[in-house]
Amino acid sequence: MSGYTDFNAAIIDEFRTHDGNTQQFGDRLVLVHHLGAKSGTERVTPVMTFPGEDGAWLIAASKAGAPDNPAWYHNLKAHPEVTIEVPREGSVEVRVEELTGDARDAAWAQFTSSSPGFAEYERRTSRTIPVLALHRR
SS (H, E, C) 71-93: HHHHHHHHCCEEEEEECCCEEEE
C-beta separation of 75 from 34 below 8 A:
yes
Residue 3 confidence (pLDDT) above 90:
no
Tell me whether strands 81-86 and 90-98 are parallel, antiparallel or unpaired.
antiparallel
Give the rounded percent of residues in the chain with a pLDDT score beyond 90: 91
Confidence label for 6 from pLDDT (cuts 50, 70 and 90): confident
Whole-prediction pTM value?
0.93
Every domain of the chain and the residues it spans: 28-136
Residue 1 confidence (pLDDT) above 60:
no
The pLDDT tens digits of the residues spanning 21-79 come to: 999 999 999 999 999 999 999 999 999 999 998 899 999 999 999 999 999 999 999 99
Confidence label for 4 from pLDDT (cuts 50, 70 and 90): low
Tell me whether strands 90-98 and 131-136 are parallel, antiparallel or unpaired.
antiparallel
C-beta separation of 72 from 65 below 8 A:
no
Residue 98 confidence (pLDDT) above 80:
yes
How is the chain split among helix, strand and coil, in percent rounded to 5?
40, 30, 30
For residue 11, CA distances in Å to 22, 25, 77, 130 come to 7, 9, 24, 23
Question: Which CATH fold topology does 28-136 show?
Answer: Pnp Oxidase; Chain A (2.30.110)
pLDDT at 77: 97
pLDDT at 8: 92
